[in-house]
Structure 1
Amino acid sequence: MSPLTLTLLAAAWAEDPPEAPAPSAEAALVVEAPRPARSASDRSFDRAALDTLTGRSTDELLRGMPGLHMSAHGGQGKAYQFYLRGFDTVHGAGLAVRVEGAPLNEISNVHGQGYLDLHLIPMSLVRTLTVSPGLARPEEGDLAVAGSATMDLGLEREGLTVTVGGGTDRTGLVTLGHRPLGAAPGSFLLAEVQGGEGVGESRAHRHLRGAAGVEREVHGRTLRGMILAHDGVFESPGVLTEADLAAGEVGFYDAYPGSGGGRSRRALGVLRLSRVEADRRRQWTAYAAARGLSLHQNFTGALYDPALGDGASQTHHALTGGLRVEGQRRAALPIDAGAELRLDGLRQAEDHADLAGEPLDRRFEAEAGVVNLGAWLAAPLHPRPWLLIAPGLRADALGYAVRAAVEGGVRVDDPQTALAWAPVLSPKLTLTASPTDTLRLFTTAGRGFRSPEARGLTEGDGDGGSERAPVTQVQSVELGASFDPLPWLGLRAASYATFVSNELMFDHTAGRFLSGGPTRRLGLDAALLLRPTPHLGLDLELSLCDGKLRGAETPLPYAPRALVAARLWSMHLPIGATAQLSAGARLWWMGPRPLPGGFASQPTGAIDLTLRVDRGDLSLDLDLDNVLGQEWRDGEFMYASRWDLNAAPSELPARHITAGAPRAARLSLTWRR
């Protein structure tokens, strides 16, 4: 199911002044979370605040999470790579995200556990975003070990909305949305076309998106139903060797032949029924999704196969469905409780491919069914008006049925079904103390988990027996504080210690996770929030993390050890009598990251800018990426490769880099009627 391709022209400049009132300081960039804060690092953003975040996609809105760094080495179409609290979650193995209550992470995706692809969601449709580093929340289960996030969707303005834009990066965007007059934000139609060639080689992409929603009040309950669909085709620039860059053999934004690309298709339907009363809240969520993904990649050139190349082609098809029930009661004995069921059925394969991406021979082929049944219970108690004690417990039961037709490049004559299961208990505890009106102290402790890939469970005996699935356990303790001594000044700090039973490390050359053993992380998130006026703010954030393999005390590769970000923003700042300005500038710097073999990456950073002027029915948006035009390195890796077929092969590791976003300007015009 593909969205319609729509193209409309902009309309005449309107003279009506904006009617929206200026937000208060509390409703500025960081607002009170829809779910109660469990950490000093929790943040929440409404639509006005989201407009001040720099970014060109829904994925990049997640940069509002303290300590999160994102990498787009796969081009504009593949899922981003996420780094958070010392975790290299790769494409989402430690960061759980829900939209309208439905999980977006893909279980046992062929390209990596927890594959988190947000290209499904139009950026203009995100109405609220809540981000929560850490694992303190009992309502979040599998994969929520580095952090979690939730999104609600809807159109903020009634009537017809048309956006047309383009940029110096040779990209364009057309969006058409409609919210009926008098209808709730959850009632809408939206279609979007986005694409272009990008700057440099092998960066072309095309995305078609469609969405429809309905929101109604039914007998005192709110009913929300939504359908989202996406079809994307993209190229991937892959890696370049530092030696070729230094010798001038390739340019910074070039790509080797056959570097990669793919096609991504996805559809998601969600139905939510909620009821809010004076002392309780209940919500039911049902969802269903269909997924198709094909990827081609080559990280080593022709090192292992000098004649045909080392390319790999991966395909993944999945159907997902689930039901989630949750409620909160605020009575003499307050209770937060819920249960959820998730079912996944998938087929996946991986082929050896030549330099052009054509499949040669099959390395792996399997089908699997995965079940996750979970329930949680928490009791947020207030023994004193200033003290919250919230013990909680989550219980999950995981089940797998996996049948591999091709394993290790060998086709199995009589494939058997491997069965696996695992019970998981995750206790949680949160203590929140507010000794004064300006000071809040947080203490959280708990356990989270990450389920195994179905691909690694294909060695069952197939005779009706079963085995225990190897679940990764994560334990964490966090101490934090938020202090607001003045109306315009806020301080936030959170320190944490996290221990992982078996670290999963992604092998970029093989395109899959490998076991790394137990690890520990010690870290700190700190922030200074300034609000000199209701329309202006400055956020300064510092994230430090020391992650090591336990026993060997070897630094964890790839994960950032130091990240600094500064964000200057304005929201609905009056310009004359008829216009308002919303803008955001983000400067970030990341220190050297450990690489395998005792190497380290270069420090890197960039400045991005977004600006929006609203006047009546028109809005003009300007986005600037990499304002200073730096050739910053999005990623650095150490391994052996061979890209020059005339050179002798070498097993010595070489430094490879992926290019960060180039300097680019994008301008768009939005008309509403």
Structure 2
Amino acid sequence: MRAAIVMAAVCLVGIAGDAVAQTGPAIPVIDRSLSSEGEIVVYGRSLPQIGLALSGSQGVVGYRDFEDRPLSRVGELVENVPGVIATQHSGTGKANQYFLRGFNLDHGTDFAGFVDGAPVNMRTHGHGQGYLDLNFLIPELVERIDYRKGPYFADTGDFSAAGTVKFTTVDRLHAPLIEATVGSFGYYRALAAGSASLGDGHLLAAIDGTLSDGPWVLDERLRKVNGLVKYTAGDWSLGLTGYHATWAATDQVPQRAVDSGLIGRFGNIDPYLGGTTTRIGLTATGRAADTAINLYTIAYSFRLTSNFTYFLDDPVNGDEFQQRDRRLIFGGSLARDFPTTIGRLPVTVTLGSEGRYDAIGKIGLYDSIAGMRGAPVRQDKVDEASGALYGQATVAPTDRLRLTLGLRGDLYGYKVRAQTLAANSGRGTDFILGPNAALAWRAADHLELYANYGESFHSNDARGATIRIDPVTGDPADRVQLLVKARGSEVGARYERSRFSASLVAYYLTLGSELVFSGDGGTTEPNDATRRYGGEATLFWRPLAWLALDGSAALSHARFRGVAPGRTRIPNSASNVLSLGAAIDLPSGLSASARLRHFGAAPLIEDNTARSRATTLVNLGTYYRVGRFKLGVDLLNAFGSKDNDITYFYASRLQGEAAGGVEDYHVHPVEPRQVRVSVRASF
């Protein structure tokens, strides 16, 4: 299989073409000027935002910003968004766990992701609500990353309370390329991509294959293949993505097992964990005059075997379980700009609509022994549909002042057909309305100030909205509200010069409830209302033509509201995040990158008596271009940090331990120092 993946990647090479940019309404265009070697030479972070941005915490990142940024996994692309952390507590094929603004976003709740206009978050998912799996992305084919934080934007609804990230892939390449990478712990990757003229447009094709065992005692056996085919003609494009991965997982393990010598730091308790994911997506995007259109359909299949408590509930067979999800998704959006005037004041009105339908043919939780699926704890079929209308108007009373007002309404309908316990079947609807307002004042030529208010929401698992009986205990179960409102406000400032930009914001955010459906337990887990506030600072500076520096720092204060004194802490809500980076790009063809990421300590339980430790990582990369070739060496975890990628605190039971288990820290360590060497050839 390894040879097949490598050979397939090497054989897929197209024909060179000129690069172009895909633009959208009210966002800056990335200059796709090319050097003689065809490389992008413009930094997205240096693009002006003053006069365009609605808040101080939104921005754009171009390919050149992260082209030479060492990545240990694809999901770390979101760390180009200042203040975002992507970690992993399981196998590489699983969606990352995300942190932003005092949120433990789990695998995506309250953090909305899009690729070429299509939403990535999964509603009513087998493993976790809002599941945001970005593993199907090919980093070299991401043209730009647009990000926004907070619920201040009418064109984004579900999962957008903390932030939104939108990836746009390239339309065509300047030259076809092949690239091969080898690294520590059995890491192999091959990529081939190219584009050719076809009719009135351009056809882009790419295939990407990865094999990896990882540093774990239990070989990860990651086998991943990604593909992309995209046809672009004028302002229209049609894209097809394919992704399949299988992997074995080393989940978080109890600290006592490591301390006692029962297992090593990279060891495991249950050797039968892992999963498989298949995703095929078709997207169509276009623009006609002032109208933007996006259509998508996605076929998705998912299987994951996990065991977090080992022998706590079943001392004989163990607590292993398996989750499955199989669905089709259909959806699209339409937005139109209407430039007009009020008196003599220029006004731009945007009206838009969205629709999405998830036909979930199977979603289930099952007992499992030695990786083999057993009896279902709960199995369902779910239909979930939503529609939204929004309007937004921007008026400029002066050439230095912009006021934007918006309103969005979302209607959801759902039908749950419980196949194991009919009492948990049901149907229903929910509606939510959210206003937003943004004020931008250009106080000086290089300084713009912002004030924002907005309301958004996240949806809960539809099974949690119809449940009546706990499928495990048989006890009555509490239902959850399907749509949960978030309210936020923010003030900020942005300063820009030709080679320097900086922003500073302060925010306040409340959620009416963080009730969620637990895919691990098949029932609801009630959480309370929350309040968060904090501040963020970012900067980008090119003191010299060949040197770029960037940094971001975020502080947050997160608490439950309306709970008993002393139990207000939100588990895994990190209070501080720091990111620093430096990149050099010399005329000789030599370039290098250094990245530092710091993720602060966090409470692990509500009374703050158990806390995680801070995590700090440094990645280094060195690259050399000569003719049509580019050689690269990445050094991940350069200083050999032994921190943890994620830490939890809960009860588990190992074989031989007393009934009731032991409350303990459960950790997943960062991967040790490793080297990856790559060679790229362009034609």
TM-score by length of 2: 0.88
1:475 counterpart (463, 466, 487): 487
- Separation in structure 2 between the aligned mates of residue 657 and residue 621 of structure 1, nearest angstrom: 32
Give the secondary-structure state (helix, strand or coil) at the position aligned to 2:79: helix
- Separation in structure 2 between the aligned mates of residue 661 and residue 33 of structure 1, nearest angstrom: 37
Which region of structure 1 is more displaced relative to structure 2, 397-406 or 507-516? 507-516
Q: Which residue of structure 1 lines up, in the alignment, with residue 71 of structure 2?
A: 55
Matched, 1:366 2:398: no
| Aligned-pair CA distance for 1:653 | 1.2
2:626 counterpart (601, 604, 615): 615
Percent identity reads 24
Q: Which residue of structure 1 lines up, in the alignment, with residue 358 of structure 2?
A: 344
Q: Which residue of structure 1 lines up, in the alignment, with residue 100 of structure 2?
A: 84
| Aligned-pair CA distance for 1:216 | 0.8
Give the secondary-structure state (helix, strand or coil) at the position aligned to 2:431: strand
| Aligned-pair CA distance for 1:284 | 0.9
1:90-239 correspondence runs (5 A):
90-154=106-170, 157-180=173-196, 187-202=203-218, 203-217=220-234, 222-239=235-252
Change (3 A) 1:460 1:507: closer
- Separation in structure 2 between the aligned mates of residue 294 and residue 482 of structure 1, nearest angstrom: 45
1:446-461 correspondence runs (5 A):
446-459=454-467
Q: What do the CA deviations read for 1:557-592 (whole angstroms, capped 9, x no partner)?
A: 10211111111123x4311xxxx2443221122221
Give the secondary-structure state (helix, strand or coil) at the position aligned to 1:118: coil
- Separation in structure 2 between the aligned mates of residue 3 and residue 99 of structure 1, nearest angstrom: 25
Q: Which residue of structure 2 lines up, in the alignment, with residue 502 of structure 1?
A: 513
Change (3 A) 1:661 1:35: farther
Change (3 A) 1:469 1:242: closer
The residue identity in structure 2 corresponding to 1:672 is S
Change (3 A) 1:558 1:379: same
Q: Which residue of structure 2 lines up, in the alignment, with residue 326 of structure 1?
A: 335
| Aligned-pair CA distance for 1:670 | 1.1
Give the secondary-structure state (helix, strand or coil) at the position aligned to 1:502: coil
Q: Which residue of structure 2 lines up, in the alignment, with residue 353 of structure 1?
A: 368
Matched, 1:530 2:563: no
Give the secondary-structure state (helix, strand or coil) at the position aligned to 1:63: helix
Q: Which residue of structure 1 lines up, in the alignment, with residue 556 of structure 2?
A: 545
Give the secondary-structure state (helix, strand or coil) at the position aligned to 1:600: coil
Alpha carbons 2:463, 2:517 under 8 Å: kept: no
| Aligned-pair CA distance for 1:152 | 1.1
Question: How many residues matched?
Answer: 638
Change (3 A) 1:188 1:488: closer
Which region of structure 1 is more displaced relative to structure 2, 489-498 or 361-370? 489-498
- Separation in structure 1 between the aligned mates of residue 408 and residue 630 of structure 2, nearest angstrom: 46
- Separation in structure 1 between the aligned mates of residue 592 and residue 199 of structure 2, nearest angstrom: 29
Matched, 1:662 2:676: no
Change (3 A) 1:149 1:10: closer
Give the secondary-structure state (helix, strand or coil) at the position aligned to 2:351: strand
Q: Which residue of structure 2 lines up, in the alignment, with residue 46 of structure 1?
A: 62
Alpha carbons 2:197, 2:203 under 8 Å: kept: no
Aligned alpha-carbon RMSD (Å): 2.6
- Separation in structure 2 between the aligned mates of residue 361 and residue 131 of structure 1, nearest angstrom: 43
Q: Which residue of structure 2 lines up, in the alignment, with residue 649 of structure 1?
A: 659
2:603 counterpart (571, 590, 594): 594
Q: What do the CA deviations read for 1:90-124 (whole angstroms, capped 9, x no partner)?
A: 00011111111111111111111110111112222
The residue identity in structure 2 corresponding to 1:483 is Y
Q: What do the CA deviations read for 1:206-243 (whole angstroms, capped 9, x no partner)?
A: 101111110013xxxx2200000111001111112112
| Aligned-pair CA distance for 1:180 | 1.1
Alpha carbons 1:450, 1:473 under 8 Å: kept: yes
Give the secondary-structure state (helix, strand or coil) at the position aligned to 1:6: helix
- Separation in structure 1 between the aligned mates of residue 415 and residue 554 of structure 2, nearest angstrom: 41
**What are structure 1's unaligned runs of at least 5 residues?**
12-16, 462-466
Give the secondary-structure state (helix, strand or coil) at the position aligned to 1:636: strand
TM-score by length of 1: 0.90
- Separation in structure 1 between the aligned mates of residue 522 and residue 333 of structure 2, nearest angstrom: 32
- Separation in structure 1 between the aligned mates of residue 358 and residue 39 of structure 2, nearest angstrom: 46
Q: Which residue of structure 2 lines up, in the alignment, with residue 606 of structure 1?
A: 617
2:569 counterpart (555, 567, 586): 555
Change (3 A) 1:402 1:646: same
- Separation in structure 2 between the aligned mates of residue 123 and residue 19 of structure 1, nearest angstrom: 19
Matched, 1:425 2:441: no
Alpha carbons 2:579, 2:597 under 8 Å: kept: yes
| Aligned-pair CA distance for 1:32 | 4.3
Change (3 A) 1:592 1:35: same
Change (3 A) 1:189 1:489: closer
Give the secondary-structure state (helix, strand or coil) at the position aligned to 1:539: strand
